[in-house]
Structure 1
């Protein structure tokens, strides 16, 4: 029965993609690519560059594209809300509640992008991973930019989860906050090879889309209601994917943290608790592996994971 439900969900998702959403996504990606050119030029002009695997100097922190696209969506929504108000028709209760969730989501993503950019711009490159930041504090009593990023991400998780919590238990709220924080850092932990973080993000998006469709969760509002939340980040990820995979830019913490945080927010808004628990468990496992050893070495030991990692990139 469960398999049949998810099969129906896949068919429904495919049907929805034929209803004009592909065209809308393509237009959004085209806009995102044009904006990416400006972001790359800005970062290069201000010496925000790093060496790629070929030893070439390429722009880093190009994930700034994602919050910029979301800011554009915020501007569009503000204009639309003003038009509704000027027309003499106030928003419905449901629309007002959705607006609160949207602003909370947008500010949370913005904060995650901001602290990620601080780490990109000021972070010490040789300090990597959870163990690295812990060693920096234990040995030198230095609060690294990674610690600042972790604190800012935790605040963003609290900021997003608490206002939208209605009937959830305290344990569910705590799990959602922890899951959000670990999701943001988890995608960032994977961003050590070209295209790896974005591949994981696309897999997360697919899982969330199928689960949301299959569960018929009441907060989904249909695909159209989810577009303001999903489309800016998804279009930005599509625009970043090819140049990141080719080693022509780095998305940086500014992008990787936003990808994980946004996907976590979508799972809370649109999916069942079962998927949220599964994502939390996966994040705990991922961080445990990262603490003990290299994730890249773990991937290289599993043929399927290695094949997926090298897909479109080859060995570097």
Structure 2
């Protein structure tokens, strides 16, 4: 952000925040009962913040494309923009379908794959397929076979990890900030410019999430995690990219037998971090 693209980045963030805020306010007022959830505090909260997330992404992409100049960085960001848009659209659509289906008996990878063997198509199974498509979209921006494979895995696994974190107010949003800030400062500047709308949207949805006025839902957590996974894959060199894939995959596997909420509540420093900003 020190270079000449700071103006484009800030404007794209602002466009993302504005688009997200408008969409979020409308979504909160018009949310159907099918998108309401009972949160950890027993409150009924509309899971509609994903609408703001995806609108912010699109608004930011439009602004950065409109304002960009024909520099190598802008061309790089334009290439990443196609992947960001594809990843956000696919994961939002699959997440919204799962949100509308509501709570299902099938849980985790084993539960959804087991349901598929019985001939049942669950929302989670649709998200697994969508994650594969999102991974393919991100892999198109990767150089070399190994990086393409790693990107194909990292994007859907990170998306699912954020979905698993979206169990308490602000938890997934905080995880987003912990990763987004270093990615913008030290990661690929082309990705940062392409993802500026997401960052602006995250500014807007975080207080709504923390104050329990809305939830990210699968339609919000999945694209948030997927785009961050994409940025992580672009930012890390080998062997750190491979290590990131293993860590995220390990956390996904651990969730099959361990509750993240239980781990967080039983670990004092994680519990304090989890409750910052909450009501």
Q: What TM-score, normalized by structure 2, do the two folds share?
A: 0.84
Answer whether contact 1:36 1:62 (CA < 8 A) is retained.
yes
Which one of 301, 304, 310 corresponds to residue 266 of structure 2? 301
Alpha-carbon shift at residue 282 of structure 1 (Å) = 2.1
Q: Which residue of 1 aligns with 2:175?
A: 200
The 3-state SS of whatever aligns with 2:213 is coil
Q: Which residue of 2 aligns with 1:161?
A: 139
Q: 1:159 to 1:32 in 2, by over 3 A?
A: closer
Q: Distance in 2 between matches of 1:23 and 1:94?
A: 15
Q: Which residue of 1 aligns with 2:123?
A: 145
Which one of 2, 22, 29 corresponds to residue 34 of structure 1? 22
Can you give the 5+ residue segments of structure 1 that lack an aligned partner in the other structure? 1-12, 85-90, 213-219
Q: Distance in 1 between matches of 2:72 and 2:40?
A: 52
The 3-state SS of whatever aligns with 1:142 is coil
2:165 is equivalent to residue 190 of structure 1: yes
Q: Distance in 2 between matches of 1:160 and 1:288?
A: 22
Alpha-carbon shift at residue 248 of structure 1 (Å) = 1.6
Q: Distance in 2 between matches of 1:126 and 1:193?
A: 20
Which one of 259, 266, 277 corresponds to residue 231 of structure 2? 266
Q: Which residue of 2 aligns with 1:282?
A: 247
Alpha-carbon shift at residue 254 of structure 1 (Å) = 0.6
Answer whether contact 2:53 2:198 (CA < 8 A) is retained.
yes
Alpha-carbon shift at residue 97 of structure 1 (Å) = 5.6
Alpha-carbon shift at residue 141 of structure 1 (Å) = 3.5
2:31 is equivalent to residue 66 of structure 1: no
Alpha-carbon shift at residue 155 of structure 1 (Å) = 1.0
Q: What TM-score, normalized by structure 1, do the two folds share?
A: 0.75
Alpha-carbon shift at residue 54 of structure 1 (Å) = 4.2
Which one of 167, 173, 176 corresponds to residue 151 of structure 2? 176
Answer whether contact 1:123 1:146 (CA < 8 A) is retained.
no
Q: Distance in 2 between matches of 1:228 and 1:273?
A: 23
In the TM superposition, what whole-angstrom CA distance separates every residue of 1:94-127 from its partner, at most 9, and x where no partner exists? 7556433322321222111111111111244443
Q: Distance in 2 between matches of 1:202 and 1:93?
A: 27
> Which 10-residue stretch deviates more, 181-190 or 170-179?
170-179
Answer whether contact 2:49 2:216 (CA < 8 A) is retained.
yes
Q: 1:311 to 1:73 in 2, by over 3 A?
A: closer
Alignment coverage as a number of residue pairs: 276
Q: 1:21 to 1:303 in 2, by over 3 A?
A: farther
Alpha-carbon shift at residue 65 of structure 1 (Å) = 1.2
Q: 1:30 to 1:143 in 2, by over 3 A?
A: closer
The 3-state SS of whatever aligns with 1:58 is strand
Which one of 79, 90, 109 corresponds to residue 100 of structure 1? 79
Q: Which residue of 1 aligns with 2:257?
A: 292
Alpha-carbon shift at residue 42 of structure 1 (Å) = 3.2
Answer whether contact 2:53 2:202 (CA < 8 A) is retained.
yes
In the TM superposition, what whole-angstrom CA distance separates every residue of 1:277-309 from its partner, at most 9, and x where no partner exists? 342122122112101121111222222212211
Alpha-carbon shift at residue 28 of structure 1 (Å) = 5.0
Q: Which residue of 2 aligns with 1:43?
A: 31
Can you give the 5+ residue segments of structure 2 that lack an aligned partner in the other structure? none
